[in-house]
Every structure is written in C-alpha cells, then in structure tokens.
Structure 1
Amino acid sequence: MMPPQGFGRRYMKAFLKGFFVAVPVTVTFLDQVACVARVEGASMQPSLNPGGSQSSDVVLLNHWKVRNYEVQRGDIVSLISPKNPEQKIIKRVIALEGDIIKTIGHKNRYVKVPRGHMWVEGDHHGHSFDSNAFGPVSLGLLHAHATHILWPPERWQRLESILPPERAPVQMEEK
C-alpha cells in the first residue's frame, strides 16, 4: 500500500500536468474557434433579446467562420465597435464592398460600401448604434459570426442569415 504522502504528490503532479495542457488548449479554442457571449440591449430585437431588459440571450460566436473575412449579407456578426475599441457590438450585415445601400438617417442618403468594408445594422431601427451612425465598417473589425442562441433554453435555435427585403442593397456588386 502506498503511503498517503506519495498519493498526494502523484495526484498533484497529474493535476498540474493536466492543468498546463488544458489551459493553453482552452485559451486557443476560445480565441480561434468559438466562444459564447451575452447579448445586451435592444438593437437586435426581435432576433435577439425579444423580451427586452428582462432577459439576455447568450449566443455562440464562431471565430473560425470569419477567419478569412468571409461574411454574407444577412449574417449576424460580432465586431469591435468603430467608436469604442473596448466594446464589441453585434449587428446584421446588410451590404458588402461595392454594394450601394439606401441609408436610414446617415448623413448621405446613399452610400457605396468601399473595398474591405461592410454595412451593418441592428434589426431594431431607431434603437441601434450602427453603420447609419458611423458609416461602413472595416472587415478588420470583424470578431465572429453568431450562429446559435444557447440561452435561455426555450430560445435555443440556429440563427439564420436573413436579409430583410426592405434593407437589401439598391445595387449589389457581383463577386
């Protein structure tokens, strides 16, 4: 029979080995593949947070899907706020580079999205700080693609990439 002191030492050694493997793997996964995030605010209602301030949806953010800046019109994405780099915002992609979009309250009535940029908006117009306030967003600010609602359980679902017909670009550039 092994003395208790030897068992404790072996247990601690195994724990530390596992810890020093698990932490870098977990950090890499969360940084490069996917993570979860709580959505705050009303800007994406009714798609996200339909209950208003009573509840917050938790979404799965897929980093892997946007690693080559490949987004489509209608995708719900997380990005670094162009006005506050400490903050991440979640919006729907309305237009891609080369598209001409009819704006809602932007200083210009029509905007041609420049190369390397996208036009993003919240689903709840008038309650969203989006491209209508700050203009086209650089693809370099893209953080992740929101793919599923994970919480609350009764709202568990895949998020569809749907472009509202009334927000379709006036002219789309073919790829």
Structure 2
Amino acid sequence: MKLRLILRSVLFGIPVGITLFDSVGYVARVEGISMQPSLNPNCDEVDYVFLNRWAVRTYNIGRGEIISLISPKDPDQKIIKRVVGIEGDVIKTLGYKKPYVTIPEGHCWVEGDHTGHSLDSNSFGPISVGLVTAKASHIVWPPHRWQNLKHDIPEGRKPLGLK
C-alpha cells in the first residue's frame, strides 16, 4: 500500500515538475566573464539566476533585459546576454561587418556587459526573438548576491536616438 502511494506521487509529481520547469522557470548557473560586472563579478564564484520562461511566451522583449537564448553559432549551447536593441533600433556596432545595423522585425541585438570579452551580436548579428528561451530576473545564489537584475544598458551602447 505504501509503495503504491509513493509510486502514484512520483508518477504525478514528475509531469507536474517538468511542466513547471518548462513553462514557468528554473534556476541556472551562469559561467564565464561575458556578463561582468552584472553577473559573476568575482571570478572565484559563479552566480545562479532565476530564468523566467513565462515572461517570454509572448516574445515581448525590452531593451536592457538580460535573456537566455540558444546560441546562433551552436544550437546545443545556451548563452545569457543583455538586450541592447529591439526591432527598428539603429545600433552602432563593435566590430561587426557593418558599422551600423537597423534591427529587423522579429529580431533583437544582444551583447555581453563585458565589452570585448563576449560572443554576441557583434559576432553573429541580430538574433531572432524565437531563439530567446527566458528572461533572467533575479540572482538567487550566492546569498550575499541576492538581488533583482537591473534593466540598464551600459553607457555608450544605447541605440542611436535614445537618451
């Protein structure tokens, strides 16, 4: 009887858990220096962030938000970057094949906060919002770093015409 109850709980709990992770969100480890100083400011420890999948279900992505996306260079890899420009914005690039890019419909421009140490839109161009998997909303670990993530675009990286 006890085994039947445990088995029933597991068979019910696994699909519910998968559904929550798949549609609501999950905690992920952020590795690397590309988002310093916002994430992983100290190379001795890594940040864990809450990735909100529910927030991107309508593909409503705003400037300054930190997002998780499927890498356009390697579909098996997820990367985390800041949205610098959205469709219609004109971006002054940093080493991209064109000095200025107008972001096409259904795309955005993403960059790491650690300029020059990031594989981002300056390498692969505007990314389709369909590659976005979640928005990073909070640092949840380590405890001394608990905080909401700010939606600020680094100085000098705002789209042309925005103050």
TM over 0.5: yes
In 2, are the aligned partners of 1:101 and 1:110 still within 8 Å (CA)?
A: yes
**Equivalent residues in 2 for 1:48-87, closer than 5 Å:** 48-52=39-43, 54-87=44-77
**Equivalent residues in 2 for 1:1-175, closer than 5 Å:** 10-52=1-43, 54-171=44-161
Provide the TM-score with structure 2 as the length reference.
0.97
Provide the TM-score with structure 1 as the length reference.
0.91
Q: For 1:164 and 1:39, locate their aligned partners in 2 and report how far apart those are by CA, in whole Å.
A: 19
The C-alpha deviation readout for 1:62-121, integer Å capped at 9, x for no partner, is 000010100110000000000000000000000000110001111110000011000000
State the structure with more CA Rg: 1
May I ask how many residue pairs the two structures share in their alignment?
Answer: 162
Equivalent pairs: percent with the same residue?
Answer: 56
The amino acid of 1:40's aligned partner reads E
Aligned-pair Cα RMSD in Å: 0.8
Higher relative helix content: 1
In 2, are the aligned partners of 1:101 and 1:171 still within 8 Å (CA)?
A: no
Q: For 1:129 and 1:16, locate their aligned partners in 2 and report how far apart those are by CA, in whole Å.
A: 46
User: Where does the alignment leave 5 or more consecutive residues of structure 1 unmatched?
Assistant: 1-9
The Cα of 1:164 is off from its aligned counterpart by 2.2
